[in-house]
Chains A and B, each alone.
Chain A
Amino acid sequence: MSATDTGTTAPPGHVKVTIDGQEVVVPKGTTILQAAQKIGIEVPHYCYHPALSSPAQCRLCLVEVVGAPKLAPSCVTAAQDGQVVQTASEKAKAMREGVLEFYLANHPLDCPICDQSGECKLQDYVFAEGRKHGRAREPKRVFGRDDFGADILFYGDRCVMCTRCVRFMEEVAGDPLLTVVERGNRSVIDTFFEEGLQGSPYAGNIVDVCPVGALVSKDFLHKARAWDLEHIPSVCPNCSQGCNIELHVRDGLVQRLRPRLNPEVNGHWMCDYGRYRYEGLNRRDRIEAPLVGRAPARRASGWSEALDAAAARLREGAPRGGQARVLAVASAEAPNEDLAALRSLVDTLGGGDIVFRSPRAEEEIPLPGMLTLARRRDLAPNVHGAELLGMRRVGGEDGTGGLDEHVRRADVLIVLGDELPDFGEEFGRERAVYLYLGSYETPGAAAADVVLPVSTFAEREGTFTNFEGRMQRFWPGLDAPGASRPAWRALFALRAALAGDEAPGTVEEAFHHLTRLVPALEGMTLDGLGTEGARARTEVAAATRAGD
């Protein structure tokens, strides 16, 4: 629509601007760049980042404001009522073409060996709007490569001097370990001391904020090309904050984790503790098939045989109306749907204790620039989810111990997800019935009557509940190895076999089942959580917590 009626007034506290022929109404004080974003117009930029201050120095976001003598930096220029902005006028485009050529004057164009290639803003912008042929024929300035400490390498020649990394460290990390040294085109990002970024708990984010390949991760160095990576929305499994992340997957392996924007939880960020703990998802020591019989008389089987065997053992060990003592050992790494299924199965068996063990760090690691974000003390993603289902934490702060007494008293023992690192092959051998559901091979499962292979959260859909009761979804990014599948399928199937009713067949139904178990979740649906999750009703959640 053409903007012929700019005379119409915007609501109080708002301004109406016309950008590239489209009208948009935004709150007063909104910058032109943000107003343009609102209607899907992306003004190229480097130094602007929505979570950092704007120095307006990259000069790429300059746009033409009709009637103004000079182009205006759209990242710091507030939209004015009635203003007409052209982001792609001849003048603005010529300016961008010129600035992009300046960027290339000293850029090494080493895209073939650059990790950023394929997700590089310099590539993208030059491809879209750069000169067809560069005119620079002078020798290029050379900085070489610098180790910034921690996981970070710096390729100064690729740097566009946007200073996002410097501002991130100062404004968000609260740890000003980076600066610009020298001036003019000798300007270069540097650290102050030999140790560089070592020990700074959020430094990994500077690789994400770097729009080009200047800051790269040693861990990811030359591991994969950007265009070969699949991006799977997920939730960080390494503490109870539940940072929204993407799994970047190639060849069935997680290559790296990246934060995914969620203003309510983690903003644009995640901590290094979480970021670099993804190798567990690529572990190969997996249980790949159901196993029936206690070792050494053990054999692999199909699912139906294994489930039948497990149901039979449970019927014998915990007959209806009997007095069998049931103990379930859960894990705070298990998704809600699995925990809900476990809860229901235990209830069907006549009730019993469900305990879990989970490591706790000595202290939180907060992010000074975002007070709601911290690496939490609980180093598992679903402690709160387990607690909402009435499960009880046992054992020490390192996530071990605390089981002996409970196990000794139990007739029926069901373990879900706990790798039992502090136990050997004798674990559970004295129990009448012992079922083990887990992903990884462990001596602790040797005495189980039936072992069921469980897919990890990265291989399936489901939800975790973070420390503040926020239900958040994740999606499958890896193929589950062998016959492993989500634990809720097996647990609900066992329950159905015992109770003679219908088992939830989809993850939505499994989630629905969960919401009926926990009053605080009443009315929630899996789809309703969206990609950013939703909070359980807090007053109820708090009450549930206080009562456990």
Chain B
Amino acid sequence: MAYPYTHPKEVRVLSRGWGEPATRTLDGWRALQGYQGLAKALEMGPDAVIETVKSSGLRGRGGAGFPTGLKWSFMPKEKSGAHYLCCNADESEPGTFKDRELMRWTPHQLIEGCLIAAYAIRADHAYIYCRGEFFEANLVLARAVEEAYAAGLAGSDVLGSGVSIDVTVHQGAGAYICGEETALMESLEGRRGLPRIKPPFPAAVGVFGRPTTINNVETLCAIPHIVREGGAWYRQWGTEKSPGTKLFCVSGHVRKPGNYELPMGFPMMDLIRDVCGGMPEGRSLKAVIPGGASVPIMTAEECDGCALHYEGVVERGSMLGCASVIVMDDSTNIVKQVRRMVDFFAHESCGQCTPCREGTSWLSRVLRRIEDGRGTEDDLSTLLSLGDEMTGTTICVLSDSAAAPVISSIQKFKDDYLALIPARDKAGVA
């Protein structure tokens, strides 16, 4: 297959059909058993769909890993008004590029997932909140939604069942924070994307003040397969706590960066060395950020023997997040990398909460100074203390995310920092 790189160890469930222009069309998707899951779901009834998803053990692929079936079951069983499904397609975590590919190549896979999920949670309307910069994905999705309406798959009478589910693609305007679920809802309602205070949780008061479920693109793309083949089928891959397959977005210092769909629990070093072709000639592994910019950084020792599932990465002091594996070899200036990530968070902080608004840019300025050779060892304790004050003290977790790489990199790569600090400013130097 032509899709940039593939590897025999991959298990292509969600990424099946990538690289084939035909898959983008309704007929192409139908050729891959498309919309059979939807038909089956309509026969099963909403509660049975939720039970199936629960039995599959599918966990949210947006980063938090919350069990999807359980999340759906929080929605009120009795409707007293509209319910909504939001698909979080605002993929913008640095290092992540899986949802973009799912939408570009298999838009109907997502639409089918949305329809099934909306049916299960008794939603009238599914909103796909697509990142603004994803111009192609937005176009492809819009075309696919039109096809789905024309074929009677979406709209007032889904597959002749009498069930009404509308699907709308909403193009975001380019803010990272709108990928935070409550900010996404604010933005969808036409306001500034500012995270909301929880509680109330979206299942009680969500978008437009109604019960709402928000799921990631990859989560929803897994749904048609799970409903079609059953929960047990999905559990043939992965572990008890992390079943199924997962898209790994590998970037950085590897020869073949890209998206790889692998069973959960795949060894990290096999992913880097075998699937991605290893480091460039003569380089060795220095660090890995396993789950996108907001998770703690891992040392080469921690990576060795690390299994890529939710519990495996936690054991090694980080988090799987959305499985965006950023690989760094020994040529990497860790301080610079961390500073660049913090710059990103400082730029994207919505500015509501003081610790985040002020803290992110303060961290960035101190890191910049250290990087420029004007730091002191005191700066490191200041950074750690600021990071501590930014953790767990704000409405959403952007603040925690900005602090995590700073704290973990100082703890694990202190020598990299000290190497940039002029000798006279080092503690203990006479």
Give A residues with C-beta under 8 Å from B.
55-60, 62, 70-71, 73, 76, 94-95, 98-99, 101-103, 105-106, 135-136, 138-139, 141, 160-161, 180, 182-187
In the complex, chain B residues whose CB is within 8 Å of the CB of A139? 365
The verdict on A60 contacting B354 (CB below 8 Å), with A183-B175, A183-B177, A183-B349 known, is yes
A57–B352 CB distance below 8 A: yes
Q: Does B192 contact A (CB under 8 A)?
A: yes
In the complex, chain B residues whose CB is within 8 Å of the CB of A161? 351-352, 354, 357
B281 to chain A: closest CB distance in Å?
40
B173-191 contacts to A (CB < 8 Å): 175, 177
In the complex, chain A residues whose CB is within 8 Å of the CB of B386? 98
A182 CA to B358 CA in the complex, in Å? 14
A472 to chain B: closest CB distance in Å?
39
In the complex, chain A residues whose CB is within 8 Å of the CB of B175? 183
B116 to chain A: closest CB distance in Å?
35
The 10 listed contacts between A and B (C-beta, < 8 Å) are A57-B354, A58-B353, A59-B355, A98-B355, A99-B354, A102-B357, A103-B354, A105-B358, A184-B347, A186-B351
B268-326 contacts to A (CB < 8 Å): none
In the complex, chain A residues whose CB is within 8 Å of the CB of B349? 183-185
B362–A57 CB distance below 8 A: no
Q: Does B382 contact A (CB under 8 A)?
A: yes
In the complex, chain B residues whose CB is within 8 Å of the CB of A70? 392-393
B227 to chain A: closest CB distance in Å?
36
Q: Which of A56, A60, A94, A180 contacts B395 (CB 8 A)?
A: A56
B29 to chain A: closest CB distance in Å?
38
The verdict on A138 contacting B365 (CB below 8 Å), with A57-B352, A73-B197, A185-B357 known, is yes
Q: Does B156 contact A (CB under 8 A)?
A: no
B360 to chain A: closest CB distance in Å?
7
Binary contact track B388-409/A, C-beta < 8 Å → 1, others 0? 1100111100000000000000
B197–A56 CB distance below 8 A: yes
A102–B362 CB distance below 8 A: yes
B96 to chain A: closest CB distance in Å?
21
A62 CA to B393 CA in the complex, in Å? 8
A99 CA to B359 CA in the complex, in Å? 9
In the complex, chain B residues whose CB is within 8 Å of the CB of A185? 346, 349, 351, 357-358, 360-361
B351–A59 CB distance below 8 A: no
B357–A187 CB distance below 8 A: yes
B394–A59 CB distance below 8 A: yes
A184 to chain B: closest residue by CB = B349
B71 to chain A: closest CB distance in Å?
21
B393–A59 CB distance below 8 A: yes
A160 to chain B: closest CB distance in Å?
8
A185 to chain B: closest residue by CB = B361
In the complex, chain A residues whose CB is within 8 Å of the CB of B354? 57-60, 99, 102-103, 160-161
B382–A135 CB distance below 8 A: yes
The verdict on A182 contacting B351 (CB below 8 Å), with A76-B197, A105-B362, A135-B382 known, is yes
* Number of A-B residue pairs with CB-CB distance less than 8 Å in the complex they form: 91
Q: Does B70 contact A (CB under 8 A)?
A: no
A225 CA to B357 CA in the complex, in Å? 31
A102–B359 CB distance below 8 A: yes
Q: Does B16 contact A (CB under 8 A)?
A: no
B346–A184 CB distance below 8 A: yes
Q: Which of B177, B358, B393 contacts A103 (CB 8 A)?
A: B358
A180 CA to B192 CA in the complex, in Å? 9
Q: Does B366 contact A (CB under 8 A)?
A: yes
Known interface pairs A71-B393, A98-B393, A185-B349; 17 further A-B residue pairs with C-beta atoms within 8 A, sorted by A's residue number: A57-B353, A59-B355, A59-B393, A62-B393, A95-B389, A99-B393, A102-B359, A106-B358, A135-B382, A138-B365, A160-B354, A183-B175, A184-B349, A184-B350, A184-B361, A185-B358, A185-B360
B401 to chain A: closest CB distance in Å?
13
B395–A57 CB distance below 8 A: yes
B357 to chain A: closest residue by CB = A185
A231 CA to B382 CA in the complex, in Å? 43
Binary contact track B234-273/A, C-beta < 8 Å → 1, others 0? 0000000000000000000000000000000000000000
A520 CA to B388 CA in the complex, in Å? 64
A138 CA to B359 CA in the complex, in Å? 12
A58 CA to B385 CA in the complex, in Å? 19
Q: Which of A55, A56, A182, A184 contacts B360 (CB 8 A)?
A: A184
B362–A183 CB distance below 8 A: no
B206 to chain A: closest CB distance in Å?
18
A141 CA to B346 CA in the complex, in Å? 13
B346 to chain A: closest residue by CB = A184
B29-74 contacts to A (CB < 8 Å): none
A101 CA to B359 CA in the complex, in Å? 10
In the complex, chain B residues whose CB is within 8 Å of the CB of A138? 362, 365-366, 369
B322-356 contacts to A (CB < 8 Å): 346-355
In the complex, chain B residues whose CB is within 8 Å of the CB of A186? 351
In the complex, chain A residues whose CB is within 8 Å of the CB of B197? 55-56, 73, 76
B297 to chain A: closest CB distance in Å?
23
A106 to chain B: closest residue by CB = B358
A60 CA to B354 CA in the complex, in Å? 9
The 3 closest A-B pairs by CB, nearest first: A187-B351, A98-B389, A102-B358
B358 to chain A: closest CB distance in Å?
4
A139 to chain B: closest residue by CB = B365
Residue from A57, A73, A101, A105 with most neighbouring chain B CB atoms (10 Å)? A57
In the complex, chain A residues whose CB is within 8 Å of the CB of B194? 55
Binary contact track B358-382/A, C-beta < 8 Å → 1, others 0? 1111100110010000000000001
Q: Which of A60, A95, A135, A184 contacts B357 (CB 8 A)?
A: A184
B369 to chain A: closest residue by CB = A138
Residue from B349, B358, B382 with most neighbouring chain A CB atoms (10 Å)? B358
A76 CA to B198 CA in the complex, in Å? 10
A543 to chain B: closest CB distance in Å?
48
Residue from A59, A62, A103, A160 with most neighbouring chain B CB atoms (10 Å)? A59
A316 to chain B: closest CB distance in Å?
76
Q: Which of A62, A76, A184 contacts B351 (CB 8 A)?
A: A184
B389–A102 CB distance below 8 A: yes
A95 CA to B175 CA in the complex, in Å? 28
A312 CA to B226 CA in the complex, in Å? 107
B351 to chain A: closest residue by CB = A187
B348–A59 CB distance below 8 A: no
In the complex, chain B residues whose CB is within 8 Å of the CB of A95? 389, 393
B387 to chain A: closest CB distance in Å?
11
A100 to chain B: closest CB distance in Å?
9
In the complex, chain A residues whose CB is within 8 Å of the CB of B394? 59
A56 to chain B: closest CB distance in Å?
5
B195 to chain A: closest residue by CB = A57
A58 CA to B354 CA in the complex, in Å? 6
B376 to chain A: closest residue by CB = A137
A184 CA to B351 CA in the complex, in Å? 4
In the complex, chain A residues whose CB is within 8 Å of the CB of B362? 102, 105, 136, 138
Residue from A58, A135, A180 with most neighbouring chain B CB atoms (10 Å)? A135
B360 to chain A: closest residue by CB = A184
B356 to chain A: closest residue by CB = A184
In the complex, chain B residues whose CB is within 8 Å of the CB of A55? 194, 197, 352
In the complex, chain A residues whose CB is within 8 Å of the CB of B346? 184-185
A543 CA to B145 CA in the complex, in Å? 70
A180 to chain B: closest CB distance in Å?
7
A58 to chain B: closest residue by CB = B354
A95 CA to B353 CA in the complex, in Å? 13
